[in-house]
A and B are shown apart, each in its own frame.
Chain A
Amino acid sequence: MPPKQTKGEYIETDTGNKVSRKSVILGSQNIILGGKTIIQADCTIRGDLRRTVAPGQHSGNVAIAVGRYCFLSRSSVLRPPGRTHQKTFSYYPMKIGDHVFVGEGSVVEAALIGSYVHIAKDCVIGKFTIIKDCVRIEEGTVVAPNTVIPSFSLVSGRPGVVIDELPETAQEGLELKNLYRMI
């Protein structure tokens, strides 16, 4: 049976997020979507993996915060990173900026992703990775845990290393407003 595209593939929220009915969102009370974010079918978001140590005054109980105009493709996984610190294991919140594209089948366990980041398909972003603004990560890249990727980088390989710089005009090419309108 062909999938029905006509009747509500996506649920649209008040702030313009479009979330596929077939996506797997666990612990939705711990997830913040900034607005105009698209979550495609089969995408898994693990909001249930929240902090288990007493959260400080500022952090609250948010497990995953996503900015505006983000695009999470099919079968991608967002999962907060976890580690043992001072003899207790805890997951730590994951922050994603605006205009972030996550390709098909990519697994993201980063601590922080800036704005205008393009992660192509089948990538693995290791635990506690920090990705700054305007970064392009090529297909099949495996970014090792705890890596810090500077702004305007082109990252590729296993393990993912910076192979080139992006031009200063890269931000225009990484905007996702048009992609949002297409869905």
Chain B
Amino acid sequence: MPPKPRPTEPISKPPTTLASSIVIAEGASLTGTYPIKIGANTVIHPRAKLSSAHGPITIGESCIICERTLISPPDAGGLVIGDGTVVEVNAVVEGSVGTGSVVEVGGRNCKLGPLTKVLDGEVVEDNTVIYGSGQRRVDVSGTESARRRLLERHIESLRVLIPSNPSKFIN
């Protein structure tokens, strides 16, 4: 029996600006009406969801957006994810993220541990680490450039592993 044709998606394709060197898996989903901009060398894993229904999304260079993440700006002000950010599995991002941050499941060079939450309107200072059940500390180790180098190697290996299909998302 031939498989039934899937119903076409009612959601409109957003206007996208994709850098030529990005890796975006076919299984990723970009939806909404506001523009989505993705910088060079960024990797979008399959099943990542970027929804620009309420505002524009700008993702910087050398980011990794893992599977099952939901990135959706809450209002027309939009959302900016800085260069070198890693958004880990299952994370929900509704606010802007600074350069070099790592967001796991939940300012600049910040690290949010798994299952942590940052409240609405809250500003997290540079180099903050949020861990455990809401504890915070400031990371003064100054390993920013080392972390960036590791990230670039990570992206290089993902470039081999994830089949990229940017043409599907360009309109």
Residues of A within 8 A of B (CB): 24, 26, 44, 46, 48-50, 52, 77, 79, 82, 84, 87-91, 105, 107, 109, 122, 124, 126, 140, 142, 158-159
Contact = CB atoms under 8 A, between A and B. Distances in A.
Contacts of A124: 104-105, 114-115
Contacts of B115: 122, 124, 140, 142, 158
A181 to B, nearest CB: 29
Interface string B115-132: 100000000000000011
Nearest to A143: B114
B89 A88 contact: no
A46 B154 CA distance: 16
A84 B131 CA distance: 23
A19 B105 CA distance: 25
Given A44-B67, A124-B114, A52 B157 contact: yes
B68 interface: yes
A147 to B, nearest CB: 13
A111 B51 CA distance: 33
Contacts of A46: 67
The 9 closest A-B pairs by CB, nearest first: A124-B114, A89-B153, A89-B157, A52-B157, A89-B154, A142-B114, A158-B132, A84-B150, A107-B89
B113 interface: yes
A89 B162 contact: no
B121 to A, nearest CB: 24
Contact of A77 (B90, B150, B157, B160): B90
Nearest to A126: B114
B47 A44 contact: yes
Interface of B: 27, 46-47, 67-68, 89-90, 104-105, 113-115, 131-133, 150, 153-154, 156-157, 160-162
15 contacts: A24-B27, A24-B46, A24-B67, A50-B161, A52-B157, A77-B68, A77-B90, A79-B89, A82-B154, A84-B153, A84-B154, A87-B153, A142-B113, A142-B114, A142-B115
A91 B150 CA distance: 13
Nearest to A50: B161
B157 A88 contact: yes
A48 B162 contact: yes
Contacts of B27: 24, 26
Given A77-B68, A107-B105, A122-B115, A48 B161 contact: yes
Contacts of A142: 113-115, 132
A77 B104 CA distance: 14
Contacts of B133: 158
Contacts of A52: 157, 160-161
Given A26-B46, A84-B153, A109-B89, 12 more contacts: A44-B47, A44-B67, A48-B161, A49-B161, A77-B67, A77-B90, A79-B89, A84-B150, A91-B157, A105-B90, A107-B90, A124-B114
